[in-house]
Structure 1
Amino acid sequence: MSDEISPAGKSSDRATSPDLRASHADRDRVVEVLRVAAGDGRLTSDELDERLETALSARTLSELTALTTDLPPVAASGGAVVAEVKDVLRIERRFSPVKRVGRWVVPRRLELATEFSEVTLDFTEAVITQDTLQIDMDMQGKNLILITKPGIVVDTDALNLAFSKIKIRHAPDPDMPITLRVELVGKKSFGRVVVRHPRKRAARRLLGKPARRPAD
């Protein structure tokens, strides 16, 4: 059975005193619970912003617990949710693809330095602990594919393009609270930037719907 992230931000099978001082990891885990709740429609955008501000300044575990007492715990399959979040992740690659899928931990900043390497970043099941991800790009050739879900928006205004195109296949839902803003900066040459939702089969699995069977 997988552990769960409890309201105090710890695994549910570990007892801790609520008067203990909170660590950065404790705050990050509670932020993840809040973001999942907002993505599920349990918190409004204003509620999310208010609770995130309180979580990031919380000093004790009891302060963190108060933020999630009305929310369900978040399953942590294989301990991915409690993994350390890197401040900066740099990926350098030539002539071979890059993929981040499943419950990978999104860093606070990502640097892409690639040559003719297709890069796929799938955020649909990723562990996200902050509201903004800046991707610094120095990417030549091939495509950058960002697979998103409702609540994730991609900002490409600061990206310098050379013989490249941007294709965003789904417009953001104005009624959906923003849980992650992905900001693309730097340079993309010779290729495309594609922002899309998961394929139909993956999308139905993400929403907890059974796959459709082919007609007889």
Structure 2
Amino acid sequence: MSSPRLPGERREIRISDADRERVAERLNRAMAEGRISVEELQDRLRTVYAARFSSDVHPVLADLPGDPLNLSVDVLATPVGPPTVLRGGVGGLRRRGDWVVPPRLRVQSSIGSVLLDFCDAQLPMPVVEVELELGAGSARLLVPEGATADVDGLVSAYGSVRSKVPARAVHGRPHFRVYGRTAAGSVTVRSRYAFAGRSF
């Protein structure tokens, strides 16, 4: 039987399968870099796949440089539930102004350009997952000042992926996980000031 939580004590955050896979990917990279042995990798992976809380996985990364997985408390609070699907046509897709951002977005566009402006939007959750399924069209994500974005999960066949904001999450600030695929279009993530004087 677990001990009751004391007043003011921070609640443990349960991690998801996606979080475990992110940690496992980092450990595999560490082995490829020669930082850990095959045996160490296997031992650490057993710990990762048995983990229930964010605190369970921190020890397996403690002796690796930096915090490449952005494993802060907020980031490990992975959004759950089905994504809200936004589909763009030839004319493109735009979301801007005062709109409520769901915790998970799936954006599908084969030709038209995509603009997602989060600066004046309502962000109920500290972490927003944006899955992009793009063809030839480009996508621009405009995030609030101080926000961070992890674009490592985004794969581009012939296009480009650029982020002008920090990747590492900062407690108390919005964090965006951007992943998915783009065939030929470019994807850019920037803050408001970087778009000054430009229209889309």
Q: TM-score, normalised by structure 1?
A: 0.48
In the aligned structure 2, how far is the partner of 1:172 from the partner of 1:140? 25
Cα deviation, residue 123, structure 1: 1.1
| Higher strand residue share | 1
5+ residue gaps, structure 1, are: 1-48, 54-85, 204-216
5+ residue gaps, structure 2, are: 1-72
Cα deviation, residue 121, structure 1: 0.8
In the aligned structure 1, how far is the partner of 2:188 from the partner of 2:94? 14
What is the DSSP-based 3-state SS (H/G/I as helix, E as strand, rest coil) of the residue aligned with 1:137? strand
Question: Which runs of structure 2 are paired with 1:6-25 in the superposition (5 Å)?
Answer: none
Write out per-residue CA displacement over residues 71-95 of structure 1, whole angstroms, 9 at most, x where no aligned residue. xxxxxxxxxxxxxxx9631112221
What is the DSSP-based 3-state SS (H/G/I as helix, E as strand, rest coil) of the residue aligned with 1:163? coil
In the aligned structure 1, how far is the partner of 2:86 from the partner of 2:195? 29
Which amino acid is 2:176 matched to?
Answer: V
Which amino acid is 1:124 matched to?
Answer: C
Cα deviation, residue 179, structure 1: 2.1
Q: 2:99 aligns with which of 93, 104, 112?
A: 104
What is the DSSP-based 3-state SS (H/G/I as helix, E as strand, rest coil) of the residue aligned with 1:164? coil
**Pairs aligned (count):** 120
CA contact 2:87–2:93 (8 Å) conserved in 1? no
In the aligned structure 2, how far is the partner of 1:187 from the partner of 1:94? 17
C-alpha spacing 1:173/1:115, structure 2 compared with 1 (3 Å): closer
Where does structure 1 differ by over 3 angstroms across 4 or more consecutive aligned residues?
Answer: 170-174, 199-203
CA contact 2:132–2:180 (8 Å) conserved in 1? yes
Corresponding residue for residue 132 of structure 1 = 127
Cα deviation, residue 143, structure 1: 1.2
Q: 2:157 aligns with which of 149, 159, 162?
A: 162
Cα deviation, residue 197, structure 1: 2.0
C-alpha spacing 1:181/1:139, structure 2 compared with 1 (3 Å): same
Cα deviation, residue 191, structure 1: 1.2
Write out per-residue CA displacement over residues 91-128 of structure 1, whole angstroms, 9 at most, x where no aligned residue. 12221111111111001111111111111111111100
What is the DSSP-based 3-state SS (H/G/I as helix, E as strand, rest coil) of the residue aligned with 2:91? coil
In the aligned structure 2, how far is the partner of 1:168 from the partner of 1:177? 20
In the aligned structure 1, how far is the partner of 2:160 from the partner of 2:194? 24
Q: 1:188 aligns with which of 172, 182, 185?
A: 182
Cα deviation, residue 193, structure 1: 0.8
Question: Which runs of structure 2 are paired with 1:1-216 in the superposition (5 Å)?
Answer: 88-171=83-166, 177-199=171-193
CA contact 2:132–2:181 (8 Å) conserved in 1? yes
Which amino acid is 1:179 matched to?
Answer: R
CA contact 1:161–1:188 (8 Å) conserved in 2? yes
CA contact 1:151–1:178 (8 Å) conserved in 2? no
In the aligned structure 1, how far is the partner of 2:129 from the partner of 2:195? 29
What is the DSSP-based 3-state SS (H/G/I as helix, E as strand, rest coil) of the residue aligned with 2:184? strand
CA contact 2:147–2:165 (8 Å) conserved in 1? no
C-alpha spacing 1:92/1:150, structure 2 compared with 1 (3 Å): same
Write out per-residue CA displacement over residues 45-71 of structure 1, whole angstroms, 9 at most, x where no aligned residue. xxxx79xx9xxxxxxxxxxxxxxxxxx
What is the DSSP-based 3-state SS (H/G/I as helix, E as strand, rest coil) of the residue aligned with 1:157? strand
In the aligned structure 1, how far is the partner of 2:122 from the partner of 2:90? 28
In the aligned structure 1, how far is the partner of 2:161 from the partner of 2:189? 8
C-alpha spacing 1:184/1:170, structure 2 compared with 1 (3 Å): closer
